[in-house]
Amino acid sequence: MYVSGVPGTGKTATLCEVVRVLREGVCQGCVPEFRFVELNGLRLTEPRHAFSHVLKVLTGRKATPDHAASLLDEMFSQRGTHHEATLLLVDEGVTRLAFPPYSHKQLVQVLGARLEGLQAFQPDALALVARKVAALSGDARRALDICRRAAEIALNTSPRRQQRVEMAHMSRALDEMFSSPCILAVRQASWLQRAFLQALLAEFSHSGVEEATLLEVYPRLVSLCRLEGIAPPSMSRTYASCAALYACRLVLADTACRPWRLRLSGSRDDITFALRGAEGLKS
């Protein structure tokens, strides 16, 4: 099964719940024992390294990709009276289940469920944030972030501590979120600059470190462009785009190092959010 969708629509939560229910079934004796392997493509430098990862999770052994593929083929070709099932979570499959972005009505339901029991928000204020976020990205996490900021504004500006979050508070929080210099700068950036930011974020996810060199980001930029059907930029064009991002303070660069060491100057969540709301790479 192939599960897809934009961030914040519940893919990870749904799959984690499926695995939890299956493990619960194993304990109750109604589901056969199984081994669970999660394969994160962002952490693989090359697709063939998937064989090494799967082998290590299943057996604890380390091997080169070619040797690991051979060992896995031998392992899964053996027939016997009893074998544990292997549940492999990867990024492709035959059956496809797409998670679309949340609609306005769905976001209202999500917010209502998360804020259940609290009388802190006017219904119209929740409807406003749901409508705004649904029109842009459908990201439930971003909607909750805006609600959190609106609550902070209400607490800081209200003489009465028990006042509810009203439309004015929510409107101010929305203005802050959607009109921040970081988000506006990303949306006004060129397609190559946006692609570079996406490649930089991908490298951060792969390495687990919020810093990368230009030479580490460039191969990811090339791969991203090829996936989009765009001719990859030259290294000189990439340097120019990086310099432009540095000039507008979207990226911080240690220019004393060769190659440059890069970090984001703004919130990673804000830049990710702005990239989702920006037009495609080809524009």
pLDDT tens for 89-127 read: 765 545 566 778 889 999 999 999 988 777 889 999 999
Strands 251-254 and 261-264: antiparallel
**Angstrom distance (rounded) from CA 129 to CA 114:** 14
SS3 15: helix
In CATH, what class is 185-277?
mainly alpha
Owner of token pair 């053996």: 78
266/54: higher pLDDT: 54
| Six-digit token string for 90 | 């990867």
**Angstrom distance (rounded) from CA 224 to CA 177:** 27
Q: Considering the chain, what is the average pLDDT of its residues?
A: 84
Element (H, E) at 226: helix 214-227
Q: Angle at Cα 69 formed by Cα 66 and Cα 70, nearest 5°?
A: 90
Asked if residues 101 and 6 have their Cβ atoms less than 8 Å apart, the reply is: yes
Question: Is residue 135 scored above 80 in pLDDT?
Answer: yes
| Six-digit token string for 15 | 């799959």
Question: Is residue 130 scored above 90 in pLDDT?
Answer: yes
Q: Could you give the maximum distance between any two Cα atoms of the chain, in Å?
A: 73
Q: What is the pLDDT of residue 196?
A: 95
**Angstrom distance (rounded) from CA 182 to CA 267:** 8
Phi, psi of 3 (to 5 degrees): -110, 125
Q: What is the pLDDT of residue 233?
A: 94
Q: What is the pLDDT of residue 139?
A: 84
- Where are the domains positioned within the chain? 2-98, 102-179, 185-277
For residue 260, what pLDDT band results from cuts at 50, 70 and 90? confident
For residue 82, what pLDDT band results from cuts at 50, 70 and 90? low
Asked if residues 131 and 104 have their Cβ atoms less than 8 Å apart, the reply is: yes
Long-range contacts of 248-253 (CB under 8 A, 24+ apart): 248/185, 248/189, 249/185, 250/182, 250/185, 250/186, 250/189, 250/193, 250/197, 251/197, 251/200
Of the candidates 47, 42, 46, which has an alpha carbon nearest to the alpha carbon of residue 203?
42
DSSP string, 113-177: HHTTT---B-HHHHHHHHHHHHHHT--HHHHHHHHHHHHHHHHHH-SSTTPPB-HHHHHHHHHHH
* CATH number assigned to the domain covering 102-179: 1.10.8.60
